[in-house]
Structure 1
Amino acid sequence: MVETDLASLDFWAKPQAERDEHFASLRAADGPVFCPLPNEPGFYALTRYEQVAEASRHPEVFSSQPTAVSLIDPPPEILEYSGSMISLDDPRHARLRRIVSRSFTPRMIQRFTGDVTALAGRIVDDLVERGPCDFVEHVAMPMPLRIICSMMGIPDSAYDDVIDATTAILAIGDPEYVGPEGQDRGTVLEEKFSKLHVLMSDLGRRRRDHPSDDLVTALTTANVDGEALTDLELGRFFSLLVVAGNETTRNALTHALALFTDNPDQRSLLLDDLDARLPGAVEEVVRYATPVTWMRRTLTRDHELLGHVYSAGDRVILYYNSANRDESVFKDPYAFDIGRSPNAHFGFGAPGPHFCLGAHLARREVTVLLRELFTRLPDLHATAAPERQRASFINGVRSLLCAF
């Protein structure tokens, strides 16, 4: 057995090359990789592509309960708010996914294509007028949040509260998190989740009485085998959507600019035939950046995986970032190659019942905004190294200065 400390935020603050080298050594290890935690049971790291795929295909063994998004078990009062379908198993997961899938469909997303395109145009208009700025704040952040809030029918006045809540919720997944003014993680989580739930509960009640052409109306009036989402389930879904959809898409966009700045040959290749090469470029950005670094599973029974028997109750972490660098699957995995084919990455999770429901929306947002940016500002580039978030769950960027 190999022991390592992947829970330490000091590790995740290291340069990409150092982290890549360490994960390569873990993938090459003969035995299982164990990560101890202070005052907690610790967890096993699944770092190989095959391991992550196998765990994702067998949710009856690798359970998403009690949580898929925290190394430690949240207290019951937090699970009440945060127990979205991402942290549920069947049959509850299947029921919620079935209801949501009937509303959150490619056809539903298609209805907002004009909004995405128009918003991308306005964002680039503002960028042209503003000049050099922070790409995260002025370009990458507005796109996914505004689209999600537009789809859900959230008023503009709530944007700042939504950003504040999602940022805190993502940070709290890491064991070293310390809240504002020393608040404990439970207090901060309850406060932030409660804010999102109240916002959505109020909107849900209004839409039941006065339906509108938005996703909240579809979710509150959906009738799948006689069922619709309850207020609590609606709040949980909204929390999941704004956290996963906002943060991950914004970070994919930010990493895209950094990657095309650091790889001018790939920028030139893209610009030579933007429409033909953009879809492959988006997939490679998602593989290379892997905005969601990991998910957790807890074993329901003893199970053998690649020669090691994991025990019932063991916690395992599916490291998508490492799977997306697996040398046995990806040729030259440390190269950013927009022509990579095939590119069966796990940037939206591995195939299985928990594959990202919003993958089609994320792809559309990233594609539309990158097309607008590189059509109108082909020399847009980062002027400094990204200022990364101190976190392990999300490969996040706080700030990225840009110019053109």
Structure 2
Amino acid sequence: MIRMTAIDFDLSDPQFWARPPEERETAYDRLRALEHPAFFDEPDVGYAPKGPGYYALVKHADILEASRNADIFASGRGGATSIVDTPPEFAEYFGSMINMDDPRHARLRRIVSRAFTPKMIKQFEADVQTAAAAIVDDLLAKGSGCDFVTEVAARLPLKIICDMMGIAEEHYGFVFEHSNVILGGFDTEYVGEEADKPIDRILRSAGELQHLVQDLAAHRRSAPANDLVSALVTANIDGEQLTSDELSSFFILLVVAGNETTRNAISHGLRLLTVHPDQRALLTEDLDGRLPGAVEEIVRLGSPVNFMRRKLTRDHEMNGTRYREGDKVVLFYLAANRDPEVFPDPYRFDIARSPNPHVGYGGPGPHFCMGAHLARREITVMLGELLRRVPDIQAGQPDRLHSAFINGIKHMECAF
């Protein structure tokens, strides 16, 4: 076990995640320079017992190998989205396939994947273009100086996810509010001022989203429509169907992950293009040809999801380090996406970077993000629409989310 000795920061300290991005990146550089992954004590959260600690995986090679070997690096033993083992009451809302291992994970993914028919995917991909155009119409009507995050970046993924699930427009704000709370981290804007009570707000918000989807599912069972909830409640794959709790957990996963992460990628994208005018000029010279590469580089540097956690199912040696059964490892994707052994000059924003094997959607293996294709489509269409119709749009200083889990931007003024 490699304890921290020469390191003067603590990844488990909430205040570490309030530091400027440059300071956090310097910390990752120092961790990557160590011979073996560093070991940290777990955070003291109050709502769950403090565990034995965890290894911080910050190298690209470690994260790839852990992701590929999901039978050894398990997601379902205490949860993948929390460093501490989550208590049983979390499972009602957050027991989705992201926190499962095979065979349960494979079963759920099979049912959900069959509900995503090619016809449905094609329809919603077409809707992305229409929605992005309407958002830019509204932006031009509103004028310069508005909040880019709430008026542009958040609106597109929120609309697409809600439309996909069959949620009426009148509920968009409701979903946006509660997804912000669930992924609010330590941020008092979303989880309140009482430092020991954020978990209560998170569980309340999850319960509100659960009620929304269960009411919708009850209606769709008797009156199916052309949406994902209808497909899921009527799906029967080899005699298998989603239970009510499974449907709720998947819904929460989809509306939270599909809304929050793409919103942040779009926000990071405008900021990167603002502070790197040379890359912006290169992009606009051949927007259609270079935008796909630009999106991959935005996701690499933006890395909207900072980490996932795994627990070892047996003793295992990986890249020269010996781990024991029950050890926890935390996969820091943002750190891996700046690994100089994989990405030359890793802090340089280079829209022509090739190859670009980033892990912005997770590493290879069964837990690779099943919404990656749609996310890429949304980011590509939104940035393309903006750069064609508002070519001089600039991002102001970002107001960053105080969170260890999400590398988020809450607010960011834009000017044009």
TM-aligned CA deviation for residue 179 of structure 1 = 4.3
Q: Which amino acid aligns with 2:289?
A: A
Distance 1:323 1:124, change over 3 A: same
Contact residue 297 and residue 317 of structure 1 kept, 8 A: yes
Secondary structure of the corresponding residue to residue 180 of structure 2? helix
Give distance in 1, aligned partners of 2:104 and 2:208: 24
Q: Which residue of 1 aligns with 2:63?
A: 52
- Tell me, in whole angstroms, the C-alpha distance in 2 between the residues paired with 1:179 and 1:329: 37
Deviation at 1:202, TM superposition (A): 1.0
> Percent of counterpart pairs with the same letter?
53
The CA deviation at 1:106 is: 5.3
Q: Is structure 2 residue 316 aligned with structure 1 residue 303?
A: yes
Letter of the 2:206 counterpart:
F
Match of 1:19 among 21, 24, 37: 24
Cross-structure match for 1:122: 134
> For residue 231 of structure 2, what is the aligned residue in structure 1?
218
Q: Distance in 1 between matches of 2:345 and 2:63?
A: 20
Partner of 2:299: 286
Amino acid at match of 1:50: A
Which residue is equivalent to 1:10? Answer: 15
Retained in 1: the 8 A contact 2:187–2:401?
Answer: no
2:47 is matched with: none
Which of the residues 148, 152, 157 maps onto 1:144? 157
Structure 1's 178 and 281: CA in aligned 2 closer, same or farther, altered over 3 A?
Answer: closer
2:147–2:413 contact (8 Å) kept in structure 1: yes
37-46 or 60-69, which deviates more: 37-46
Instruction: Return 5+ residue gaps in structure 1 as ranges.
Output: none
Amino acid aligned to 1:83:
G
| TM-superposed deviation, 1:190 | 2.4
Alpha-carbon separation, structure 1, partners of 2:239 and 2:90: 29
Worse-superposed segment, 163-172 or 180-189: 180-189
2:327 alignment partner AA: D
Q: Are 2:174 and 1:169 aligned? A: no
Which whole-Å CA distance do the structure 1 matches of 2:118 and 2:299 have between them?
Answer: 20
Distance 2:65 2:394 in 1: 39
The count of residues paired between Structure 1 and Structure 2 equals: 402
Segments of structure 2 that go 5 or more residues without pairing to the other structure are 45-49
**TM-score, normalization by structure 2:** 0.93
Structure 1 residues 60-69 or 1-10, which shifts more?
A: 1-10
Matched, 1:188 2:226: no
Structure 1 pair 22–67 and aligned structure 2 pair: CA distance change class (3 A): same
Q: CA deviation at 1:13?
A: 2.1
Q: Normalising by the residue count of structure 1, what TM-score does the alignment of the two structures yield?
A: 0.96
Q: CA deviation at 1:181?
A: 5.9
One-letter identity of the residue aligned with 2:301: Y
Does 1:100 pair with 2:112?
yes
Superposed displacement of residue 30, structure 1 = 1.2
User: Deviations along 1:104-135, whole A, 9 cap, x unmatched?
Assistant: 25542211123211111110001111112110
| Aligned residue among 243, 260, 273 for 2:256 | 243
SS in 2 for 1:365: helix
Distance 1:371 1:293 in 2: 26
CA deviation after TM superposition for structure 1 residue 243, in Å:
1.0
